Amino acid sequence: MDIVKLPVVRNGQLYQFEPYLGLLLVRTCDGALSRADGLPSQVKRTLLMNDNPYRLQLANNYTIPDVNRRRWLKLYTRMLVRVCRASFGLARFIASFRLPVFNNATEAILFFRQMLPGQMQQNLCFPRSLFAAATSKNFRTGGVLFIGVFLPSRSMHAWVIEDAIQPDPYDNMWINFQPVAACYFSQRT
């Protein structure tokens, strides 16, 4: 899974995501950035929709997945959560090995939410998004995982946009977060 940085400049501060440790670095900076330059087309296209959310489509066609159907998927979910807590880079590496078992990211996310229900989901945005990236059949060709910051706070969030759809029906906060990094599967791999 590749990652591209999407640096943000605000009030003379440059916010830049460190792609191995998963940290947001801040330093003073003059001028503005043109962040669309040199981005992979898949990221560029999806970023444009993220910046113009009314261009997105609605997630209508999905089936509620059966949480009991695969024991190994449950184990994978729990493992991913643990690894995300331990290491950002390792989690991203593990999610690079795709397990495309769900038709789309919505079904993957609903499965993940059923596996670990309740308040704890508030702190699981990154493993949830990685899970969707790894297990959705459509993500490889049409999905981007964004990592964003809600400026000026240090609050961060991860979410997915796949095939012009924000697939998580329960995520009502993604709109506030400005992307600082995008993870995607390069079309050449």
Residue ranges binding another protein (CB under 8 A) = 51-54, 56, 58, 150-155, 172-173, 175-178
Nearest-approach distance from CB 53 to another protein, in angstroms: 6
Whether 66 contacts 115, CB under 8 Å: no
Pick between residue 94 and residue 150 the one whose CB is nearest to another protein: 150
Pick between residue 141 and residue 155 the one whose CB is nearest to another protein: 155
Nearest-approach distance from CB 54 to another protein, in angstroms: 5
Pick between residue 131 and residue 174 the one whose CB is nearest to another protein: 174
Nearest-approach distance from CB 34 to another protein, in angstroms: 16
Name the maximum alpha-carbon separation found in the chain: 54
Residue 34: CB partners within 8 Å, gap ≥ 6? none
For residues 30, 183, 158 and 112, what is the CA-based torsion angle, rounded to 10 degrees?
A: 180
Residue 153: CB partners within 8 Å, gap ≥ 6? none
Pick between residue 92 and residue 157 the one whose CB is nearest to another protein: 157
- Any bridge partners for residue 27, and if so which? 14
